[in-house]
Amino acid sequence: MRLKHGIDLGYCTNIHRGETWAETFAGLRTYTDAVRRRVSPEAPYGIGLRLSAVAARELAGDTTLRNDFHRWLEISNSYVFTINGFPYGTFHGSRVKEQVYAPDWTTAERLAYTNLLFDLIDEFAPSGESVSVSTLPGSFKEFIRPDTAADQREAIYRHLRSCSEHLDRLRDRSGRDLHLGLEPEPLGLFETSGETVAFFEGLVAGLGSGEKERLLRNIGVNYDTCHLAVEFEEPAAAISALRSSGIRISKIHLSSALRLQPTAESVGRLAAFHDEVYLHQVIVSDGARVIQRFRDLPDAFAWYESAENPGREWRVHFHVPIHAHPEALFADTRDHISGLLTLMGDDPGWCGHFEMETYTWEVMPAAMRSGDVVEQLVSEYDWCLGEFRRCGLA
């Protein structure tokens, strides 16, 4: 939906199962349209689409499928303004973990997939609509090998520059603004605002002023409020660091993380959030600085058993419902969302794409679910729209 200051708000359809186009389209007709009828029955409704590589290729290769989707968008008074291009393959129902980063930006496969997503959204989005695709932060730290790190990083830069050139060609053809958002994530190749700035410095190194300007117009950051909160960053400082370095905020993911004070009871209860599908990175602070990072919950549990200092606060990369406090013993990081929107209310216009992302619905403890998935999404819209209104943005 369109809010003030040219802001588009939607939810990411990666919350629903869908690896083929038929499955993806069924989810849109079943769940997304039900949400639309509740939150935007008359005004145009913005969709944050997730397309796997399989679904994208199926859609691109069949004119009939694309025409059917065009007709459905028209009939449902909906439009696509952004695509989540982070997960390339299967994202529900089986082990994802670190494979969500594969293939990474060292590979031609990731480039081809991302370019295809831009081709599709350029076709489906309304004329003149600014469109975005979000993607992984280059790679996963564990994928970068010490003996080949320089070559891997250069391959990432080369493929991202090639994607930027593809966006230039699409812009010349359609006249629309297209931009890619790299998504800092705990234990990604870059995860903090400082690491993100350093990555972009390498990305533009050696480019002429015109080339640098075009690249930074085409490639920016997808700022996930859960991820930066897990890193114990504050929105004002993080956004300032990115924008002052000339980095575009392409899209903002509205999401909330778990936080807790580590006690035997709370850490024991945290075991209910472990699953065999997703990584749930844990970052530990002693109140002044980050003292530990763990790739997943079992690693943090094992460390806690023998830790002399388990820290004052743990933050966990588990996307919890935006609208509701977690169960007893836990808190959330919704204050990061509120702080970011307050920041934008004071200085609007630096980002127009907002996408709610709580993809963990299927693995969430049952007590945290609000009825069915449609009820949860409607409740998340209600809470987020209240915050946008509070800040004069809706």
Residue 374 domain flag = yes
SS3 annotation, 223-289: EEHHHHHHCCCCHHHHHHHHHHCCCCEEEEEECEEEEECCCHHHHHHHHHHCCCCCCCCEEEECCCC
The token duo for 18 is 């869908």
Q: Which amino acid is at 295?
A: R
Secondary structure element (H or E) that encloses residue 23, with its range: helix 21-27
pTM: 0.98
pLDDT at 371: 79
- Contact between 138 and 182 (Cβ < 8 Å): yes
Range of the domain at 70: 4-256+333-390
CATH for 250 = 3.20.20.150
User: Could you give the count of Cα atoms lying within 13 Å of 64 in the half-sphere of its Cβ?
Assistant: 1
Whether 293 maps to a domain, the answer reads no
CA distance 272 to 120: 39
DSSP bridge pairs for 10: 355
State the Cα–Cα distance between residues 322 and 377, nearest whole angstrom.
Answer: 9
Q: Does the residue 288 lie in any domain?
A: no
Quick one: pLDDT at residue 370? 67
Give pLDDT tens digits along the chain (394 positions): 999 999 999 999 999 999 999 999 999 999 999 999 999 999 999 999 999 999 999 999 999 999 999 999 999 999 999 999 999 999 999 999 999 999 999 999 999 999 999 999 999 999 999 999 999 999 999 999 999 999 999 999 999 999 999 999 999 999 999 999 999 999 999 999 999 999 999 999 999 999 999 999 999 999 999 999 999 999 999 999 999 999 999 999 999 999 999 999 999 999 999 999 999 999 999 999 999 999 999 999 999 999 999 999 999 999 999 998 998 899 999 999 999 999 999 999 999 999 999 999 999 998 887 679 999 999 999 999 999 999 999 9
Rounded Cα distance between 220 and 233, Å, is 19
Per the domain annotation, does 210 fall within a domain?
yes
Among 88, 83, 72, 19, CA closest to 49: 83
The tens digit of pLDDT for each residue in 50-108 reads 999 999 999 999 999 999 999 999 999 999 999 999 999 999 999 999 999 999 999 99
Structurally, the chain folds into a number of domains equal to 1
Rounded to whole angstroms, the Cα distance separating 317 from 336 reads 14
49 strand-pairing partners: 83
Domain-embedded: residue 183: yes
In a domain, 347, yes or no: yes
* C-alpha 98 chain-centroid distance: 16
Q: What are phi and psi of 128, to 5 degrees?
A: 85, -10
**How many whole angstroms from its chain centre is CA 207?**
28
Establish if 58 belongs to a structural domain: yes
How big is the CA angle at 16 (ends 12 and 19), to the nearest 5 degrees?
Answer: 100
- Model pLDDT, residue 43: 97
pLDDT at 367: 82
The verdict on whether omega for the bond into residue 41 sits within 30 degrees of 0, i.e. cis, is: no
- Domain assignment present for residue 187? The answer is yes
Tokens of 385: 């729209």
DSSP-based three-state secondary structure for 359: coil
